[in-house]
Amino acid sequence: MELPKKISDEQLRPYLKYGENDARARLQAFIRQQHATWPDLAAAHRRLDTRLTRTLPLTDSSVELQCNPGRTRSTTAKVAAKDVAQRPCFLCPANLYPEQLGLLFASDWLILNNPFPIFNGHMVISTIRHTAQLLEPALPAMISFVHEQHGTFSAFYNGARCGASAPDHLHFQACPAGMLPIERQLSALLDEPLRKETPWYVTTLDNRGIGLCRAASAPELLGRLRVMCARLNRTADPGDEADLNLIIFGRRGRLAGVCLPRRTHRPACFFATGDAQYVISPGAVDVAGLAILPRQMDFERMTKEKMLSIYAEVCLGADVMADCTT
């Protein structure tokens, strides 16, 4: 059966460069096609180009702040089960925007352009069926996606209670490689000679417990991350999973997975009122060092101390990762 929202070869062909038709070329052509035929997507990217950004030094690293009013809806999305059940699912093919198409990936996923981008080239990779957000079924697709794109894109996963604004529909996201600060920060650490022999590297970076796994191949990374997830999930309810964000990236022909286990989704300041309120709803991107702040007042007044306290509140310590990787 032909999927109604799948972009056809005829629709893609005018945007492919002559002689190119591999996965990387097809993804770039698909992005060009959607920008050319979907005015609201092109407008969202024009606004993205003028967003305010600044770098905030922390203790171990730094965080990039992005003022992005276009993310208000995602940041403040009601993600409680009763609220989710009452709205049409925006990732189901039947509910996509009229101009929105998907590039078929691995037979049962659609690559979509995110209509509320954080990055230039912000993709959502969503399963064609409406099924629960769980890492186990997403993991092979995430690794394949990064592998197939030769590491030019990184993939990231938000657990259902860790930043996913569609916690009821299985999906992950992707951005051009190197856009997530943690990727760059950990890449430098990986060059230390002592790190080269061990697949796992566990550390705490500015109050975020982090487990980094390196692998020489996609099957090796999948195997190692599956073992880690099974251990992490020992504390979860049956059929559910531990709260986490996961990032997959490629580097110099190798693959890496970064796991950040989570204590909670939103910090107390999200729910506060008046001056005490900061509208920040951390997902994988935010804990990876790119904090998305829809309100300019929060962007301007964010401090090192506030950011560190938010990380301490929403992330778990490195001891959790150490228990899952030894």
Q: Minimum distance between the CB of residue 295 and Zn ion, rounded to whole angstroms?
A: 29
What does the angle CA 163 – CA 279 – CA 265 come to, to the nearest 5 degrees? 30
Whether 117 contacts 45, CB under 8 Å: yes
Q: What letter would DSSP give residue 8?
A: P
As a whole number of angstroms, the distance between CA 287 and CA 279 comes to: 15
Angle at which helix 39-49 crosses helix 23-37, to 10 degrees, equals: 100
Asked if 134 is part of the footprint of Zn ion (rule: CB under 5 A), the reply reads no
Member of 92, 269, 318, 322 binding Zn ion (CB under 5 A): 92
Restricting to residues 62-91, which ones interact with Zn ion according to CB under 5 A? 89, 91
- Using the contact rule CB under 5 A, the part of the chain among 9-17, 129-137, 212-220, 242-250 near Zn ion is 129-137
Whether 249 contacts 146, CB under 8 Å: yes
Q: Minimum distance between the CB of residue 109 and Zn ion, rounded to whole angstroms?
A: 13
Q: What letter would DSSP give residue 177?
A: T
Pairing mode, if any, of strands 62-67 and 290-293?
parallel
- Using the contact rule CB under 5 A, the part of the chain among 39-47, 124-132, 134-142, 186-194 near Zn ion is 124-132
Pairing mode, if any, of strands 52-57 and 109-113?
unpaired
- CA dihedral (237, 142, 199, 62) in degrees, to 10, reads -90
Member of 5, 32, 35, 130 binding Zn ion (CB under 5 A): 130
As a whole number of angstroms, the distance between CA 255 and CA 260 comes to: 17
Q: Minimum distance between the CB of residue 130 and Zn ion, rounded to whole angstroms?
A: 4
The residue at minimum Cβ distance from Zn ion is 89
Question: What end-to-end distance do the CA atoms of the chain give, in Å?
Answer: 46
- Using the contact rule CB under 5 A, the part of the chain among 69-77, 123-131, 171-179, 193-201 near Zn ion is 123-131
Shorter beta-carbon distance to Zn ion: residue 126 or 281: 126
Q: Minimum distance between the CB of residue 123 and Zn ion, rounded to whole angstroms?
A: 17
Shorter beta-carbon distance to Zn ion: residue 96 or 288: 96
Which ranges of 126-217 would DSSP assign to H, the alpha helix? 135-148, 181-190
Shorter beta-carbon distance to Zn ion: residue 166 or 229: 166
Cβ-based neighbour number of residue 216 at 10 Å? 11
As a whole number of angstroms, the distance between CA 205 and CA 190 comes to: 14
- Using the contact rule CB under 5 A, the part of the chain among 19-27, 105-113, 122-130, 299-307 near Zn ion is 122-130
How many residues touch Zn ion under the rule CB under 5 A: the total is 5
As a whole number of angstroms, the distance between CA 176 and CA 74 comes to: 20
Binding mask 157-196 for Zn ion (x = CB under 5 A): ------------x---------------------------
Q: Minimum distance between the CB of residue 126 and Zn ion, rounded to whole angstroms?
A: 8
Q: Minimum distance between the CB of residue 164 and Zn ion, rounded to whole angstroms?
A: 12
Q: Minimum distance between the CB of residue 37 and Zn ion, rounded to whole angstroms?
A: 23
Q: Minimum distance between the CB of residue 319 and Zn ion, rounded to whole angstroms?
A: 36
As a whole number of angstroms, the distance between CA 63 and CA 101 comes to: 33
Binding site for Zn ion (CB under 5 A): 89, 91-92, 130, 169
